[in-house]
Amino acid sequence: MYIRKETGPVFVTLPDGKKLSRSDLPPKNTSRWVARRKAKIVAAVIGGLITDEEACDMYDLTFDELDGWISAVKDHGPAALRVTALQKYRHI
């Protein structure tokens, strides 16, 4: 039996002290993106668990979409990922 070794770290430690691993990420066939799932992807990319290219390929995202999520979290925190709060945090 062959066990595939993933590249990169096994887990990353988040700012709140929790650990995030690949098994904590949303399923690859996710089509409904709620703020909690977006935040996990952003934390994984920022923490170095997965690359932005890997996240885009895995979840069928565009680089602009992922970059928007990352900049929203960096500028305003995870609450900016909620669709209902989009106009509050949108840069015009």
Residue 1 pLDDT: 59
- Structural domain that includes position 86: 41-92
- Number of domains comprising the chain: 1
Q: What is the pTM of this model?
A: 0.82
Q: Strand 19-21 and strand 11-13: pairing?
A: antiparallel
Interval 17-62: pLDDT, tens? 899 999 999 999 998 999 999 999 999 999 999 999 999 999 999 9
Nearest alpha carbon to residue 41 among 91, 85, 57: 57
Binning pLDDT at 50, 70 and 90, where does residue 5 land? Answer: low
The predicted-structure confidence for 59-79, as pLDDT tens digits, reads as follows 999 999 999 999 999 988 888
N-to-C CA span, the chain: 54
The answer to whether residue 45 sits within a structural domain is yes
Fill in the amino acid letter for 59.
Y
- For residue 86, the number of C-alpha atoms closer than 13 Å in the C-beta half-sphere is 6
Q: Is residue 86 part of a domain?
A: yes
Please indicate, yes or no, if residue 22 is contained in any of the structural domains. Answer: no
